[in-house]
Structure 1
């Protein structure tokens, strides 16, 4: 008997959707479509690939040059509103039509980063690469891409240098400076920034700077929570890293809270098999509970 486990609520008569590859949050729409067409020779028309979603807008975006604007700047996609609820999105190697979501309290994120795409009915827009999707300001893409790549290179050097023997101080210093530059160029919710925060967190763990590691780990998780659904397994793995750091800081209550979040997420994916597939989660939980009990009894 074949059993299919859904990770989210599926309304009656709604078709079941199975991912053939990278999901929303892992790659943007263009890269997902290109990969599926190359590997499986079809154009995906699932709900995530048929409607404009927050993650696809921000995952690889640059930030608006206007300081008080949270709008995104795309360096590849051209957005053209062709009907009140229909958007034409095109790039160098793809073109597709996406339905525009109804802006509700659950979709307010799109309104904040791409206000021009979902303005009132009857208002058209035609926005090319380099222009903010909220206010229309222009960003120099050639300079921004070069500066972003340079910052990412320094952070990658830090990641490549991580060993059991520690991390050179100069590389951490350079990576922190590069992260600061990256945040001035890339959108604050972009996956590039999340990965940079995660790399620096790992470096701090290696040298025993757990407080700083925790701050960067939390910053990474906060971005991932923008890219992925709230209970996505990617967030579960990052929360497990956070729990480990919190245990190292003797913050047993916080660690236990993080582990319980991990349990909830992994149970959604693996059900009763979770403890067999990830036995270390139960071990972490027991350790956190034991240490918390000892702390409270003192």
Structure 2
């Protein structure tokens, strides 16, 4: 380890962790989509009160257990229900859309809620193959266009986009543009973010690889831009936090069953690296270890406990453990 990195790790470990929320907007048993959306707003309000930095929502399509198909619509509602927490997408699935439409939607949000909007983009389909075809045609062809799509979004946010020789502006033009983040699980997505000069979120909770090399590659290849002068990284991690280890383990087992039913995720995906399970002090210690390992000071927390009250309690316990001193 070089001296500069060691210095950065020491400094990071002395600062309080920044925590954010990634909400998949689950539709739990005995609930309907309307109730799930109300619970999303409640979670955003509680996250703001507790001191979380961001509240992001994910995009999925035709999954019975998940309610958010249009992040920009729900974000408009969440913005009206909150005051200062940053709100954004984790992620808009860019291969389904044209850059102009995405930029216009998030410019609208940034005009309504200045200085609070994050545009997180990803390249997953967010649903079954047939659903992707119904939504946007040949998804694989669209994924191959990802560098072009990302470039378009980046240029639109910076006000220098041209199409067939004509300058095009994504209106309304907000006083403060959205922050652009790319979400991914491997070095390819990290390379895209670095080339654009955008922020990068490593999705540890859904990745089969450790993040050290991915984040290192992002930082080493980063090109400063109008979007960001320096590399900025967040790690997305699954968390189940409860008063006792036994209760945390019980909730984690229930969470694994729900995820398998809601999105087809295999139970084997739930393990120590993808999911931090334990008491508040134990989870805090694991996050601090990851902070030193990855040289990051912000984590975006995914908690898919299939009980709305227990899910809120997990976020409350974690906040108290991290910021009570």
Would you say same fold, with TM above 0.5? no
Q: Give the structure with the larger helix fraction.
A: 1
Greater Rg over alpha carbons, structure: 1
Q: Give the structure with the larger strand fraction.
A: 2
TM-score, length-scaled by structure 2: 0.26
More contact order relative to length (CA 8 Å, sep ≥ 6): 2
